[in-house]
Amino acid sequence: MERNATILAIFADSADAEAMSNYLAELPEVISVTADRSLATTLEQLAFNRIEPALTIIPGTLYPESMPLLVRYVRCCFPNTEILVIAQASAPPPSLERFMADQVRHLIVEPQQISVAAGGDFPLSLAIGNLIEKRQWTIDQYVKEGTEIREFKLTFSEEKEKIIRTLEDAIVGDSPEHEMLRHKGALLADEMLENAFYGAPRSDDGMKMFRKGERRQILPQENIAFRFAFDGETLAMEMQDGWGSLGADLVLEYLAKNSANMEAADDAGGRGLFIIWRFLDQFHVRVAPGKETLIGGHLRKSSQIPPETLHGFHITTG
């Protein structure tokens, strides 16, 4: 896939650069710099030469703990660049409060090292492609080409149980991994549907319009739809509503707040969203305030990422 936008990759050291060298070598227009004493001068020189990277990749080894002001300085030099942070699952989790303050909305968590999946679209290459080409994340990007995507447009809240059973039945297999995937898939579907039924609908003053668990009819203008696909290994799921009651900053606030207080009560806000994020291998949210919210992501049958560890996310607008 051809890309002609400049990518800036900032590395902590030579070992950090080596971990990504095989992948970045395949991409055009990559400028790689090391965070040494001359970093500020290097970035200023790039800006002086009118180089404006569309995407800046920063390792979790640098941001936010080691260099908490790095993103602010990068944006000072390159105001329009997208920021993508890549963290290692084995490292201490980064501060989401700093992400929230700096409006960093893209995080990939790699198990050990950067790797390129078969097909070249998972997960780093997918993120780079979407960010460079300004595409939105969709569940068909997570599964094998040709995998059927099942869609359910909701008319009554009672349809939830049938949808969950349909999802469980679609995950065919008798192994413990299949059974665990069915269990997680049912939990995630339940949280997504409950959020669309009772969390998303808000009055003009921001108050919830329906009580949790209340049986209700879904009005056509709510445009609530649930989608899923399973290709034998990856379960991808997506929930859409026509309320648009979330905002990009609010999503990050919910994730940060609930990460800091794992025992937070549901009425603290965003608990369902936090649970969805923690159980998906990778999580995406698209928000159009007052118009639409789309929440989705994927979970692999062979996933070794426990829910209590940090997971990746992509939060976009429009």
- Cα–Cα nearest to 53, from 128, 135, 137, 108: 128
Burial of 49 (0-12, 13-18, 19+ CB in 10 A): exposed
Q: Tell me: pLDDT of 262 over 80.
A: no
pLDDT tens readout for residues 124-143: 889 999 999 999 999 999 99
Structural tokens at position 315: 């939060």
- The radius of gyration computed from the CA coordinates of the chain, to the nearest angstrom, equals 20
CATH 3.30.565.10 is right for the domain spanning 139-317: yes
Over residues 105-120, the mean pLDDT reads: 60
Place of tokens 């034998």: 232
Instruction: Tell me phi and psi for residue 161, to 5 degrees.
Output: -60, -40
Structural tokens at position 175: 């192994």
Q: How far, in Å, CA of 290 to CA of 318, rounded?
A: 11
Q: How far, in Å, CA of 15 to CA of 27, rounded?
A: 19
Q: Is 191 helix (H, G, I), strand (E, B) or coil?
A: helix
Residue 307 pLDDT:
79
For the chain, how many helices (H) and strands (E)?
9, 11
pLDDT tens readout for residues 157-179: 999 999 999 999 999 999 999 99
Question: For 80-94, 175-189, 270-284, 291-305, which range has the lowest pLDDT when averaged over its residues?
Answer: 80-94
Q: Is the peptide bond between 123 and the residue preceding it cis, with omega within 30 degrees of 0?
A: yes
Contacts of 30 (CB under 8 A, 6+ apart): 6, 7, 8, 9, 24
Q: Are 177 and 301 in contact (CB under 8 A)?
A: yes
Q: Is 175 helix (H, G, I), strand (E, B) or coil?
A: coil
Q: Provide the residue count of the chain.
A: 318
Structural tokens at position 170: 């679609």
Q: CATH fold of 7-133, please?
A: Rossmann fold (3.40.50)
Q: Are 150 and 229 in contact (CB under 8 A)?
A: yes
Other CB atoms within 10 A of residue 197 CB:
23
Residue 54 pLDDT:
94
Q: What is the pTM of this model?
A: 0.90
Over residues 252-258, the mean pLDDT reads: 91
Q: Where are the domains of the chain?
A: 7-133, 139-317
